[in-house]
Amino acid sequence: MRYYHCEKYPIEFVLSENLDKCFASHNHVGHYVISVVMQGTAEVYLESRKLACHEGDVFIVPPYMVHSVCLKRNARLLSMCIGTAFVTETDFETAEGIIRELLEGAAEQGIFGKEQKEILLASLRTVCQSQNKGGNKWNADIKLLADQITSHPEYELPIETLAAEIFVSKYYFIRKFKRSVGMTPHRFCIQNRIRKAQRLLGAEKAVGRVAVEMGFYDQSHFDKEFQKIVGISPSEYLTSKRTLPQSL
């Protein structure tokens, strides 16, 4: 896997290839993902829908949509991740101009071809239009607690404490949370710890230090969860990151 990020805007390209791996069910809290199959086949589960995506096919994952992806050894998948705030706070013409420049720069570097550039650019309009239609209709209490976990995933928040905040039993809370968010509070917390760990690693913090800051038992536990969610180890993630040029 290779990661190409823009330092000025919350936009990143991820190229997944030669993996032969299934990414377990997860969601992305803070960004939209537009993925295009460059080669082979990707088996994609978007909530209850199963898709067999072939070369040239594209699928879009909005924030909080639970999904999983299985890639065979010969598959190549290109994903463009765009921060939710960028989509909601930037007018379409400005967003399109910024992303067009990034796509053209990435294509010139040989990260992907012109065909993928056009597919991703065309899909941007779909993302910008969809964000105005509203997302998950969550219970306000669950949304509040999910935001609390997302903001500080490294903190230990016992299930009993979270359940008490909305005056329900812990068992009812777990069922209600999973029904709304798509996973248990524990898995949601682990997932967000790993996402925050990615940001800290990007800030050049040492792997061992990040593992401790994110509340993992030890580096081995951190490595295992990181690879389960990201697809590669923390050290491989560090060596795979590249910066995209951006002039706008």
pLDDT tens figures, 34-67: 999 999 999 999 987 899 999 999 999 998 898 9
Pick the CATH number of 140-242 from 1.10.10.10, 3.40.50.300, 3.40.630.10, 1.10.10.60: 1.10.10.60
Strands, sheet with 41-46, edge to edge from the N-terminal-most edge strand? 21-26, 67-71, 41-46, 49-54
C-alpha closest to that of 28 among 77, 64, 56: 64
Q: What's residue 157's pLDDT? A: 83
CA pair distance 141, 184, nearest whole angstrom = 15
Whether 64 contacts 188, CB under 8 Å: no
Q: What's residue 187's pLDDT? A: 92
pLDDT tens figures, 175-185: 999 988 888 99
Confidence of residue 137 (pLDDT cuts 50, 70, 90): low
Average pLDDT over residues 149-157: 88
Pick the CATH number of 2-133 from 2.60.120.10, 3.30.70.20, 3.30.930.10, 3.40.50.1580: 2.60.120.10
| Cα atoms in the Cβ-side hemisphere of radius 13 Å centred on 15 | 17
pLDDT tens figures, 171-207: 999 999 998 888 899 999 999 999 999 988 877 778 9
* pLDDT reading at 134 higher than 50: no
Whether 40 contacts 55, CB under 8 Å: yes
Residue 173, Cβ neighbours under 10 Å: how many?
22
Q: What's residue 228's pLDDT? A: 87
Confidence of residue 131 (pLDDT cuts 50, 70, 90): low
* pLDDT reading at 135 higher than 60: no
pLDDT tens figures, 65-115: 989 999 988 899 999 999 999 998 999 999 999 999 999 888 888 888 889
Backbone angles phi, psi at 50, to 5 degrees: -110, 125
Same fold, 2-133 and 140-242: no
The number of residues making up the chain comes to: 248
Q: What's residue 105's pLDDT? A: 87
pTM for the model stands at: 0.85
- Structural domain spans, the chain: 2-133, 140-242
On average, the pLDDT of the chain sits at: 88
Q: What's residue 246's pLDDT? A: 60
- 186-220 burial, b for 16+ CB within 10 Å, e for fewer? ebbbbbbbbbbbbebbeeeeebeebbeebebeebe
The sign one gets for the Cα dihedral 135, 140, 142, 145 is: positive
